[in-house]
Amino acid sequence: MDLRIFGDPVLFDMGPVPVTETMVTSTAVTVALTGMAAFLGHTVRSRPQHWLSVVAYLVVESFDNLVEEIVGRRHTIVATLAGSLFLFIAGCNIAGQLPGVHPATGSLATTSALAVVVFLRVPIAGIRTNGVWGYVKHYFRPNPLLMPLHVLSELSRTLALAVRLFGNIMSGHLIVALLVALAGFLVPTPIMALDLLIGFLQAYIFAILSTVYIGAAISAGEE
């Protein structure tokens, strides 16, 4: 029975760096997504009328609209980040459905790294829009006494972002492993379909929440 919750087996060593299974899986997803993006970009440039180009337009347009609804105006950089997060997380979750592959997002290291990216992106976006003072000022609103609570909420929502994704994907994979061990074939199929839905939903929620956090930092100075 393949019950893996917190561990991450080391496959081989590359010099002083141990290469774990999660690193291999996430690198494979990254390479696949980059290749797909390069191919679609080439198709859009060479054959704009082709149906693949239309699919690419639709995907980019939907991310742009999502960011516009949340931030309040079109913002290409935030849309790029949200789209990359969504596609990477969804790609990792789908890759976890392949037999023998553990989803890279089912490891706390991957999800913490993604959450730290969002955590660092929030002040960068706020400072680029409002200036250093304009951004720092919102920590002291409505009262300077609340500054520790602002900082605490930024830290705790980063932790929540990481643990939510990790817990959902890891528990889905664990339930499928338990069902395979208990009941065998065909019984876990509906749960695996649910896992696929949850994978997309969690990727969507991660992208939405990071956009909401960055959008709040962008509009921090407009009060």
Partner 1 sequence: MTDQTIIAIVAMAGAALTMALGAMGAAIGESRIGAAAMDALARQPDEASSITRTLFVSLAMVESTAIFCLVIALILLFANPFTGTPGG
| Interface residues toward partner 1, by CB under 8 A | 3, 5-7, 160, 163-164, 166-168, 170-171, 174, 201-202, 204-205, 208-209
Q: Alpha-carbon distance 21 to 216, whole Å?
A: 36
CB contact set of 96 (below 8 Å; sequence gap of 6+): 102, 103, 104, 105, 106, 169, 173, 195, 199
Identify which of residues 126 and 172 has a Cβ nearer to partner 1 in the complex: 172
CB 171 → partner 1: shortest distance, Å? 6
Q: What is the C-alpha separation between 45 and 59, in angstroms, rounded?
A: 16
Least distance in angstroms from the C-beta of 213 to partner 1: 13
Nearer to partner 1, 71 or 170 (CB): 170
The residue (of 139 and 200) whose beta carbon lies closer to partner 1 is 200
Helix (H) or strand (E) holding 13: strand 10-14
Hey, what are 27's tokens? 């690198």
Q: At its nearest, how many Å lie between partner 1 and the CB of residue 41?
A: 28
Cβ atoms within 10 Å of 59's Cβ, excluding its own: 15
Q: How far is the CB of 16 from partner 1 (least distance, A)?
A: 21
DSSP 16: T
- Residue closer to partner 1 by CB (options 121, 164) is 164
